[in-house]
Structure 1
Amino acid sequence: MVTTERQTDDEAILKQAVRGDGQALAVLLRDNYTLLYRYMLKVTMNKAMAEDLVQETMLKAIERIGSFQLRSKFSTWLISIGTRLYMDEMRKKKRERNWQNTEQAMQSIRFDAAMRQDEWPEALDALADMPYDIRVPILLKYYYGYAYEEIAKWLDIPVGTVKSRLHNGLKHLRKELSQ
């Protein structure tokens, strides 16, 4: 009997929160804070990151409470928000690491060229800023002289895609170098 009373109370508070009752929402957030924090701590294995993600999750829940469908438990909804935020954060960190690795590699190449007293043309800087899927066909075609068909075969893309990437890449390079 106590369980059904508790469920009825939770449902009533949840409905009030969805309708915009700030007090009801505060109760829900307070009651689910520890569960969410423990979950995020296990997911991140990082106390500071878990704390940040819990706070961000709570803010998202406050912003979006009106869209909560009452089809699942409130805690499940919070966990889904927190999980998405964590995944977004990890993707962002991966992009940052890739950018740092690329920058370090470019600095190393420039340094090597300077040590050999080779010239480092501005075109290579502009080329370095391009996405790899455009940079590679440009290098293969215009620096190494390979045919469209060979490039298409190596990259496992249609010949038309090679031509399109070359066209768009050269257009981008011209724009960058003219500035």
Structure 2
Amino acid sequence: MEQLGDEAQLVKRAVRGDDHALSTLLRSHYTLLYRYMLKVTMNKAMAEDLVQDTMLKAIEKIGMFRQQSKFSTWLISIATRRYIDEMRKQQREQKWQTQEQALQSIRFHAAMQQQEWPHTLDALGELSYEIRVPILLKYYYGYAYEEIASWLGIPVGTVKSRLHNGLKQLRKELDEDD
């Protein structure tokens, strides 16, 4: 196996398409990258997955490596971006689960009080909060476009657009279920 002193040569060869050089580089940096990701994630399985993703991304993008930093720095930057993307994905999933659980709780509460749960509320619950809130404020509570825009910190035109798109989605959802 080549020594790390030859790293600059290995990088040049890898960028030109030498698979053996790239393989050598990735093997020699695997432990460093794994230890870094273990500290970042504090989760062994996630660290392993992200290191594998990083290695695959490095294989795909090696031709774009401009050698303006060390190879290890490039790998760490890829791994860090992959981690941030994963955390954003988990936040979106967690947000969706929280909203779904809250909706289930409201349905259960209505059932326990033997209240009817209108299908319209199910359809409303399917909308994103960015669309649901303006619809409720305008059509259920009767507030003006300007008030809604002020509360939400968005232009009046955006409120109107969200209302239009939201009503269109609601009509479509309700028509499909009839």
Distance 2:157 2:61 in 1: 45
How far has the Cα of 1:29 moved from its partner?
0.6
- In structure 1, the residue matched to 2:91 is 94
Q: Is 1:59 paired with 2:86?
A: no
- In structure 2, the residue matched to 1:127 is 124
Aligned pair count reads 174
- In structure 2, the residue matched to 1:31 is 28
Distance 1:140 1:42 in 2: 46
Distance 2:157 2:81 in 1: 37
How far has the Cα of 1:71 moved from its partner?
1.2
Q: Residue 36 of structure 1 aligns to which amino acid in structure 2?
A: L
- In structure 2, the residue matched to 1:79 is 76
How far has the Cα of 1:6 moved from its partner?
5.7
- Unpaired segments of 5 or more residues in structure 2? none
Distance 1:156 1:170 in 2: 21
Q: Deviations over 1:62-110 (max 9, x none)?
A: 1111111111111011001100110011001111111110110000000
- In structure 1, the residue matched to 2:154 is 157
Question: Deviating runs (4+, > 4 A) in structure 1?
Answer: none
- Unpaired segments of 5 or more residues in structure 1? none
Alignment of structure 1 residues 164-175 onto 2, 5 Å: 164-175=161-172
Distance 1:10 1:72 in 2: 12
After alignment, is 102-111 or 120-129 more displaced? 120-129
Identity across matched positions, percent? 74
CA-based RMSD: 1.4
